[in-house]
């Protein structure tokens, strides 16, 4: 019996280890030196770097960093203006132009519970009343996470950390996508009507959405990208679910595009790729696509 229990424990540990990986080595094919890819979570603190086995070594062994975006370009004045403009309703419209009275009341009740103020406050309406539904959804997601995560510091997150260190060490930094492309993908890929529908899904189901946000965070901090994918793929079997086209535009199409760019980047110098962890798993994930392209992809334990 004791031997059986030990075997079961070892099996569970092994199965957990398969899933619990965020850092991968990319080698073979025509690469003289291996590159690495690490999955991040947009709300994770920079300090989590030290919880990912082998990551400090990977940072030392690579000569450049490639993220989804070159953050220096993303945060310059021109890009910031583009982003702010993209987050606003088109043609000078406001939310009042697209929401019914009932929907406005629901939105106000949701905002009151989340942030203690709503659109009946003139300052809040001035700041948020002309934001697009998609931009509001993004802001509310961030606020939900902040409210449920003591010590959260939005100025010290993992996504920016790698590029910051690379620049300090005089290493090149680059991005797989342009600011214009991300703006189009994140804020312009859905019609205003569909954005409104998604916003009201959030407003009508606050507890469910809070649970999903926290489940995604839990999966990431457990380094379990397969569980993360399961949470991302969770369906309510109604219009709140992402359509296949929406999912493709947000993940699959971007993954396929990255694979066309990564070989040239890796062949120049060993590279640390830094992308959202949700892009790594699955048949259409970056790890499988790299393998299909002829590379050896190994989890760093």
Domain boundaries in the chain? 19-88+131-299
- Measure the CA–CA gap between 70 and 181, rounded to whole angstroms: 12
- Measure the CA–CA gap between 211 and 216, rounded to whole angstroms: 9
pLDDT at 155: 87
Q: Give pTM, 2 decimals.
A: 0.90
**Segment among 75-79, 106-110, 285-289 with least mean pLDDT:** 75-79
pLDDT at 273: 98
E strand intervals along the chain: 23-27, 35-40, 64-67, 173-175, 271-276, 296-299
pLDDT at 73: 86
pLDDT at 283: 96
**pLDDT per position as a tens digit, 190-217:** 999 999 999 999 999 999 999 999 999 9
pLDDT at 20: 61
Cα 236–Cα 202–Cα 129 angle in degrees, nearest 5 = 155
Beta strand 23-27 pairing with 296-299: antiparallel
**pLDDT per position as a tens digit, 40-50:** 998 999 999 99
pLDDT at 15: 35
pLDDT at 9: 30
Which band of pLDDT confidence, cut at 50, 70 and 90, is reported for residue 75? confident
Cβ 64 vs Cβ 174: under 8 Å:
yes
- Measure the CA–CA gap between 121 and 134, rounded to whole angstroms: 21
Query: For 142-160, what is the mean pLDDT?
Result: 91
| Residue 242 clears pLDDT 60, i.e. is over it | yes
Q: How many CA atoms lie within 13 A of 224 on its CB side?
A: 16
């Amino acid at each position: 019996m004791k031997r059986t229990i030990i075997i079961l424990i070892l099996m569970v540990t092994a199965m957990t280890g398969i899933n619990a990986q965020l850092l991968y080595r990319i080698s073979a094919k025509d690469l003289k030196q291996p590159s690495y890819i690490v999955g991040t979570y947009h709300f994770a603190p920079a300090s989590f770097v030290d919880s990912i086995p082998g990551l400090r070594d990977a940072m030392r062994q690579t000569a450049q960093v490639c993220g989804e975006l070159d953050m220096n370009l993303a945060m310059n004045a021109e890009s910031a203006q583009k982003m702010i403009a993209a987050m606003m309703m088109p043609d000078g419209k406001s939310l009042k132009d697209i929401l019914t009275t009932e929907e406005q009341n629901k939105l106000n009740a949701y905002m009151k519970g989340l942030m203690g103020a709503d659109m009946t406050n003139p300052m809040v309406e001035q700041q948020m009343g002309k934001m697009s539904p998609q931009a509001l959804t993004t802001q509310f997601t961030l606020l939900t996470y902040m409210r449920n995560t003591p010590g959260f510091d939005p100025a010290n997150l993992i996504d920016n950390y790698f590029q910051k260190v690379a620049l300090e060490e005089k290493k090149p930094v680059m991005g797989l996508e342009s600011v214009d492309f991300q703006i189009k993908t994140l804020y312009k890929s859905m019609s205003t009507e569909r954005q409104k529908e998604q916003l009201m899904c959030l407003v009508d189901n606050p507890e469910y959405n809070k649970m999903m946000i926290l489940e995604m965070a839990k999966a990431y901090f457990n380094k379990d990208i397969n569980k993360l994918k399961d949470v991302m793929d969770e369906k309510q079997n109604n219009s709140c679910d992402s359509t296949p086209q929406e999912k493709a535009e947000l993940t699959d199409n971007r993954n396929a595009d990255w694979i066309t760019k990564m070989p040239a980047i890796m062949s120049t110098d060993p590279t640390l790729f830094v992308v959202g962890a949700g892009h790594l798993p699955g048949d259409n994930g970056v790890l499988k696509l790299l393998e299909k392209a002829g590379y050896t992809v190994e989890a760093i334990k």
